[in-house]
Structure 1
């Protein structure tokens, strides 16, 4: 048995219940010591990086994010994403593409199901790439008004996306992973 498998949660207490649930956990470690830990629970999520190989652009969004606001920095470019809310990840990410980007997607390419912040969160995010064309931009996007997302939609050139990856300026983790996946899985998009 590995050390990881011999650790166990011995108690959990709900500290806050709202959009997220915060738990205080007591974890018995493999050496028998009990450690105090905090855990954020929200559920599972999905994210997609849509790209148009004909016009050589990718769709990203920006929106006010508390983490960036807290540090006084602009909110970063992000891929389209949302909570699963009990739905199938592929179907849900197609809904999110319409809601946030005004984009009609028909197929998605699965990349990975990643932990967003495994030290402190239960959330996993199913990541996808998806091709689209200019005629698939059928709506305005921007998110649901009742969710107060204030999403701005951006189409950026694939060369600019690559430059953001290489320069370290693409700072949202799920977005960086998907941009790198696009570079690795579809190098023909950058071939001369």
Structure 2
């Protein structure tokens, strides 16, 4: 069917069966996988496409722009909203163009030059999602709208402009728990240590 990957003994794992279990906001499949050792095992695949995320930062005022929004898994865990980088689904659009749209939609922020960081798997045991990560400089004059999310999507986004020292403190204390945002914050700290 698809998806062969070499194992330790040189043989490949391969998807040999696929059943659609749910088709809604995302698609969920039950897979049968032939493993390199000869076993056939059940696995699950959440097909939720690709995404993009950006951590905008102002090197003059030493701030960054992040958001919070209600997330079902976080609500289920009874935790406070995550501090997150601006992000969104690619929906077949060029990553650079898409993240500029998301920055305007979520934070009312106009972005120009983007600094690519990496393309990461968000949850490889189950999800197809890969996220293009970017850093981007901004200035106070680039905040040209209110943000808050797309009209009619009920995202309930809160925009937070945070000092870079506060961001660093969250990273060091292990309190920045959203993976894409943690990677972006660490990339900013490594690439631009003079800002911290």
Query: Which range, TM-score by smaller chain?
Result: over 0.9
Q: Which residue of 2 aligns with 1:40?
A: 46
Q: Which residue of 1 aligns with 2:113?
A: 107
CA root-mean-square deviation: 1.1
Unaligned runs of 5+ in 2: none
Answer whether contact 2:26 2:46 (CA < 8 A) is retained: yes
Please give the TM-score of this superposition, normalised by the length of structure 1: 0.97
Is structure 2 residue 134 aligned with structure 1 residue 128?
Answer: yes
Q: Which residue of 1 aligns with 2:157?
A: 151
CA shift digits 1:63-102 (9 cap, x unpaired): 0000110011111100000000000001100110000010
Separation in structure 1 between the aligned mates of residue 123 and residue 48 of structure 2, nearest angstrom: 12
Q: 2:98 aligns with which of 92, 97, 100?
A: 92
CA shift digits 1:103-150 (9 cap, x unpaired): 000111000000000001010000000000000000000001211100
Is structure 2 residue 48 aligned with structure 1 residue 30?
Answer: no
Separation in structure 1 between the aligned mates of residue 88 and residue 134 of structure 2, nearest angstrom: 12
Q: 1:8 aligns with which of 14, 24, 38?
A: 14
Question: Which 4+ residue blocks in structure 1 deviate beyond 4 angstroms?
Answer: none
Unaligned runs of 5+ in 1: none
SS state of the match for residue 77, structure 1? coil
Separation in structure 2 between the aligned mates of residue 2 and residue 26 of structure 1, nearest angstrom: 17
Please give the TM-score of this superposition, normalised by the length of structure 2: 0.95
SS state of the match for residue 152, structure 2? helix
Q: Which residue of 2 aligns with 1:54?
A: 60
